[in-house]
Structure formats: structure tokens, C-alpha cells
Amino acid sequence: MSFYFETVKTDKKARAGVFHTPHGALHTPLFAPVGTQATVKAVMPRDLREIGASLILANTYHLFLRPGSELIAAMGGLHRFMAWDRPILTDSGGFQVFSLAKINRIDDDGVTFRSHLDGSARRLTPEIATRVQQELGADIFMCFDQCPPPTDEATATLAVARTSAWARRCRDAHPEDIRQALFGIQQGGIFEHLRARSSAALLDVGFPGYAVGGLAVGESKDEMVATLDFCVPMLPADKPRYLMGVGAPDDLARAVLRGIDLFDCVLPTRIARHGAVFTPDGTVNMGNAGHARDENPIQVGCDCMTCTHFSRGYLRHLIKAKELLPHTLLSIHNLRFLIRHMEAMRAAILAGEGQLEAYVEAFLDRYLRGRPA
């Protein structure tokens, strides 16, 4: 089998696993950098390999609009197109359709919307989203879903019904394929009965992996954690579990404790472009005057290229001079910070004897005591 998941060790709900794919094994839990338009903003594939990235996410909505999945397929698929020989995951475009585009009509068949690029009328259905992702050639791709506001029960109820029906249509359009794994997406907002209904429908269809969608999109952190407490156990223990769009270091720690294996988020590169970095003591603004003469790296002991070569003073200079280089250097650090965070949690799970809980408690105590500076 080209795709299969094995649990190496568990620590209560958390688990260290390996998800085998045609482009290599993914050691979980892991964080995937986001390459929305077939590129992780400001970071070269060489640097992604150096910091230990094993999986990259690309965005179906954006690539559907530009340059088009047919063009990418004609040029050898995403792996060749973006010069990345490790696994790639694509989302379905559902979230972007509902958050970026001006929607003309949502119906049970799909969504008609206007492109944010040129205003042209476009259409996405489960079958179209499936075909586009097949043409992109990602190792893992997602069912087309409706992502509702997480605290609106009426909308979430309708979204669960549509997402469930669309999941079956995606599966029908993508029978068993040893080269591409189609994941189902659990929806239901913060409502336990809706998450249960969504999970039951997905399990009835059957997928090689499952995602938790519709979180970190407006609910509080406490609501997100409470939802994970009841919705993650609804998903099969022998399949990978993917929490979509979550990347804050504290959220990653809490979600790993609750059994999530895969994560992605634009946060580390987005805040880097605004001069901010992750540190064990919270998020730090590198443009602040206090760093002007600081000869220390962003984080003492960090093994990323940025921290092993450049000082805070130099990075602040680049930011104030409006150079492009800090976008790259700060992104490299932020991504490596999250990947090291995941590596540490995996090592703690493998070590056992309560080491994961101890690590998470110590990490959160220090990280949450820090204040943006």
C-alpha cells in the first residue's frame, strides 16, 4: 500500500506515528508550512528541507484560478512545478470560496462565485474540486466542504448536511488510488451533536485520513479546546487526524495532547512579513528599538540558519531599511521554531512516562507568560 498510518507509541490521547506516502514517510505529529500559490512565501525549497519540513500545503482555490490545474498537470504536476520532492497536501478550496470570493450562489450542488482576481464567474462542485486536485497531483487532498461560522448552529447544521453529501460525491469521483489519498473533513462548529453527525457520515463513506475543519475561525481558544476534547475521539484511531489552519505554538501543544497528528497554518510566515517572531517567551517584534544594538540571535540555542548567523540588531536594521531579506530570515526561524516544537513533542511521546504532559506544561507556562514586545 502506498498510503498507510502506523502508531508507533501513544501517551494517553497523544500519539507518535508514521504516515507513509508515495513521496516519503511523514513522522507525526508534524507541522506543514503553507505554500498557497505553489510557494512558501519568501522561503526556498532548499531552506524548507534544511529546517526539516516534510510536508507542504498548497491551495486549490488559488491554483484553480491561476495558473490553472491543467497547466500544472501539463508541466508534470505540483511536485515538479514547484521543485518539491517530498509530500504535498492540497486543501479543497472550500474555505477560500466562503472567505475570499464574492459568493453568488450556494446550493446543494456546489458554489458559484466571482474570482477575487478578475471578477469572472466561476463554479466549484465536489466533482470539480476533486478533478482539480487530481490534476495538481498532491499526495493528500481534501473533500470539498462548507466551512460555516463555528458558533452559528443553524448554519453549521446546514453545512454538515452539505459537507456529508459532498464527501460521498468526492469519494465517488476519486475511487481508491495508490498515488493520492482523499481525506474527509469533519465539520459542525463547536456543537458536539453536529460533530458526531458529521463524523458518522464520513465513516460511512470511509477515507484514508480525516480532518477537523471549521476551527480557529472565530471561536475562542477555550471553545476550540473543548471542541477538540469531544470531536477528535469521534475519528478513527488507525487513521491520521489533521487539524486544518491551526499554527499558534500554544494551540499546537494543546491539540497534540488531544490526539491530532497533522497541522498547517499561514501564521509563521505571515507574522514574519510583519517583523514578528516566535520565541519560547512569546511573540517578539524584531522592529522594536530595543533590539538595535542586540548582538544575540532571536533565540539562543535555536539551530536555524537565521539564529546561527544573524543578530537581533542586524535583523532590526533590515526591517527598518525595508529590505526583503528579513521576510526570508524571520520566516525560516518561525517555521523552524514550530517544527522543533513538534519534534520535541514527538520525542516526549516516544520517551513516555508523562514526558509529553511535562513538556507541554513547561512550554505553555513560559510561552503564555511572555508578552508581545
Q: What is the pLDDT of residue 352?
A: 96
Q: How far apart are CA 274 and CA 171, in angstroms?
A: 40
Say if residues 316 and 287 touch (Cβ distance below 8 Å): yes
d(CA 264, CA 243): 8
With CA atoms as reference, report the closest residue to 311 among 326, 331, 323.
326
Contact (Cβ atoms closer than 8 angstroms) between residue 189 and residue 153? yes
pLDDT digits (tens, 9 = 90+) for 203-242: 999 999 999 999 999 999 999 999 999 999 999 999 999 9
Judge whether 264 counts as a catalytic residue.
yes
pLDDT of residue 94: 86
Identified catalytic residue from 11, 47, 91, 261: 91
Going across the sheet that includes 14-21, the strands are: 4-11, 14-21, 24-28
**Torsions phi, psi of 287, nearest 5?**
-85, -5
Q: Report residue 280 as a C-alpha cell.
A: 519560547
How far is the C-alpha of 171 from the C-alpha of 136, rounded, in Å? 17
Give pLDDT, residue 372. Answer: 52
Which regions in the chain score pLDDT beneath 50?
373
Strand partners, 24: 21
Reading the block at residue 364, the C-alpha cell is 505553555
Q: Are strands 24-28 and 241-243 parallel, antiparallel or unpaired?
A: unpaired
Whether this model's pTM surpasses 0.85: yes
Residue extents of the structural domains in the chain: 4-265, 272-369
Q: Which residues are registered as beta bridge partners of 21?
A: 24
Annotation marks residue 261 as catalytic: no
Q: Which of 11, 139, 145, 264 is catalytic?
A: 264
- HSE-CB at 239 with a 13 A cutoff on CA atoms is 21
Q: What is the pLDDT of residue 373?
A: 46
**308, burial (CB in 10 Å: exposed 0-12, middle 13-18, buried 19+):** exposed
Q: CA–CA separation, 346 vs 359, rounded Å?
A: 11
AA letter at 350: L
**Domain 4-265 class in CATH:** alpha beta
